[in-house]
Amino acid sequence: MSKKARPSKTVAVEVNRLKGKRKGALLKDEVWSENGKVIAYNLAYVNLKRCRMDHGRVLGYDNSHGFHHRHFMGKVEAIEFASYADLLDRFIREVHELWRIEDEEN
């Protein structure tokens, strides 16, 4: 009789503290996976100089509270979710666009 394999959970957390023009801002990537499948995630660009609401989260994506959603400047909206990889690409593109806009304003 063989033992049933236990599900394995992995948590990956990456926090990058930004420097230069964005000193004090953070990029956060938290991912929980089980047996190689992403079961929870939290992506965030936090910059209290840009947004005082939502603990400084300018832009973020997560699937807490039972649904996939986007945070932007204190507002939350539900999103369609295809895959974590697609969402991460979207997040990176949006952050780069925000930085381009921030650079133009300064």
DSSP code at position 2: P
Question: Percentage of residues in the chain with pLDDT exceeding 70?
Answer: 92
Determine the pLDDT at residue 35.
Answer: 85
pTM of the model: 0.87
Determine the pLDDT at residue 9.
Answer: 79
DSSP code at position 49: T
Quote the CA–CA distance of 104 and 40 in Å, as a whole number: 35
- In the sheet that holds 26-34, the strands lie side by side as 9-17, 26-34, 37-46, 57-62, 69-72, 75-78
Whole-number Cα distances in Å, 66 to 4, 27, 43, 63, 69? 28, 23, 16, 6, 9
